[in-house]
Amino acid sequence: MEKIEYKEKAIEEISVRVKEILELLGEDVNREGLRETPTRVAKALYEMTSGLRTEPPKIKVFNLSETGDVEYEEDQLIVAKDVGFSSLCEHHLLPFIGKVHIAYVVGKGGKVAGFSKLIRITNYYASRPQIQERLVSQIADALMNSDVEPKGVLVIGSGVHMCSFVRGVKDREANLVSIATRGVLKTNRSLRNQAMRLIESSTKQNLL
């Protein structure tokens, strides 16, 4: 839990620096539309980087062995699709937004992850200055090393990056796709292809 005193102090300090940046850009920070902007920007940045100051959420486990069908449930392929995310590119501090798709293979204990926890872990690692390639790897590692104990994990991320959308090459069509694989979903090509087909079946070849 973040301390209120630290949060208020941080937002105050950030807002001062945002005001300085606007002045350096040639803006009149006292005009009507910008008077509250430094504070708004500070609050937004603080919210968008919450993952830097909080503990990762614990992935809740449901034990399917309690149903008596462990033999059947082991090796089951689970896919969570279209998990939306937004993050800040660590190179320009501009947003990149998109979707993450997560697949994993149930292990010997017959454990599965709570669906909402997969969303929370995605949001946690997205809430910081980030690159998409690292984001999918962190999600994959978090699930692979969790109490779920899956045999394998596959994470696909697809995002539009404002650093190339609004500046530089200004490409409005390009999106970046990144993939991380662990365990049997790294070593078993057939199983990996099956997981990717399940993901692509509902995205209609458009992962974003």
| Alpha helices in the chain, H assignment, sequence order | 4-24, 37-48, 70-73, 115-126, 132-144, 162-165, 184-187, 189-203
Do 151 and 184 meet the contact criterion of CB atoms below 8 Å apart?
yes
Instruction: Pull the structure tokens for residue 48.
Output: 């968008």
Kindly write down the DSSP assignment for every residue of 65-83, as one continuous string: GGGT-HHHHTT-EEEEEEE
89 annotated among ligand-binding-site residues = yes
92 annotated among ligand-binding-site residues = yes
Separation of alpha carbons 200 and 14, rounded Å: 42
Q: Provide the annotated binding site for Zn(2+).
A: 89, 92, 163
Q: Provide the annotated binding site.
A: 89, 92, 163
